[in-house]
Amino acid sequence: MDVETSKTIVVAMSGGVDSSVAAALLKDQGHNVIGITLQVWPEGAESDGQGCCSIDAVEDARRVANKLGIPHYVMNLREEFERSVIQDFIDEYAEGRTPNPCVRCNEHVKFRTLLDRAIALGADYLATGHYARVIEDSDGLFHLHRAENPAKDQSYVLYMLGQEELSRILFPLASLTKDETREIARRYDLNVWSKPDSQEVCFVTKGNVKDFLTERRPELARVGNIVNLEGKVVGEHTGTAGFTIGQRKGLGIAASEPLYVVDINAKTNEIIVGPLAALMVSSVIVGELQWVAQRPPATVMAVTCKVRYNMPTVPALFRLYEKASGPTDKRNGFGSGDLWELRFENPERAPTPGQAAVFFSGDEVIGGGTIEKVVRSTDYTIGAPLAEEMRA
């Protein structure tokens, strides 16, 4: 979405190269640009300097703003981040699920709290360094599309954006590659032009995820059994927090064939392992559905989907699985508690409860939700009518 006339635009500056270039491009277009960095780092936490919105990242953002000649402010959202992102992260792991904290941060902090505060400050738009596109149609509906460069597309973590948010959000890097972004930053002589991307969970500042979880929730370090698919004990673990579905290394099990984590039972404190074939999943049940342009399917809909960030889109069928008993949205007849099913054309490896399932029509993001459970291919056969729909 392009903005031709001069506007007041708040740029969420994380201290990285992407948001820095977003601010530079908007300023060059003649907009009144204000940089805001979120202070979400837990008070007293140590930093390795690489995390998004870390203490060091705040300083990087401030230096970039000074270089560009734009005002820069730090907004303290520690409480919101702790409640909506960190506590959710811990609670999900305690339930044997694997959450995506970037999705929760985008939903509850960056594109809700920050956007609300930016508008309250008189801004016309909020801009970020995400690689995605917003397109407004002739009816005034806003659509979220994948970035022009598929290798850097970040639309997967933005599926929760609705009409209100998309009407106020700009993604200035939508048509750029990462190399082009870095080159622009170098030309502007921004100190972050060669700064590496943050890859890890931003608030895990020392040690690993297991260390963080067991420090905050010591019961997650309880010793328990590792069992095979038949329920036989084949090993011992020192806490379910140290495992994710699909994991092979670090099991400490001698076996005649490679074994993988295929399930985590938080109630019994057990890690379930099995062969590679046991990771193959025919469908996932998805909850907490959110629709970008308010267009849920009436019956069965052919889509492409992603159930992990770093994967290509794959064909699937999408349909209502279970109607909730709660209130129904008058606009589309569906309830927020409804469950939906994504049936893959071919079994997918290790979709994981707690992760996001996002579905597309071509390059457009239709919506997405949270994987609640999986149906393994060994337990499931596509019936003839559905197979015919899939081929059609």
List where CATH 2.40.30.10 sits in the chain. 279-391
Query: What's the maximum distance between 2 C-alpha atoms anywhere in the chain?
Result: 67
Amino acid sitting at position 41: W
What is the value of pTM for the model shown? 0.88
- Coil, helix or strand for 147? coil
Residues of the chain with CATH 3.40.50.620: 8-187
211-268 confidence digits (pLDDT tens): 999 999 999 999 999 999 999 999 999 999 879 999 998 888 888 889 999 999 999 9
* Class (C level, CATH) for 8-187: alpha beta
CATH of 279-391, one of 2.40.30.10, 2.40.50.840, 3.30.2320.50, 1.10.3980.10: 2.40.30.10
List of residues 6+ apart from 158 with CB closer than 8 A: 106, 111, 130, 132, 144, 365
Q: Is the CB of residue 63 less than 8 Å from the CB of residue 191?
A: yes
What is the model's pLDDT at position 242?
77
Pick the CATH number of 222-274 from 3.40.50.150, 1.10.1270.20, 3.50.50.60, 2.30.30.280: 2.30.30.280
Active site positions, annotated? 105, 202
User: Which tens digits make up the pLDDT trace of 178-224?
Assistant: 999 999 999 999 999 888 877 668 888 778 899 999 999 999 999 99
Q: Is the pLDDT of residue 384 over 70?
A: no
Average of per-residue pLDDT across 154-163: 95
**What token pair was written down for 125?**
């738009």
* DSSP state at residue 335: B
- The single-letter DSSP state of residue 55 is H
**pLDDT for res 41:** 73
- The SS3 call for residue 249 is coil
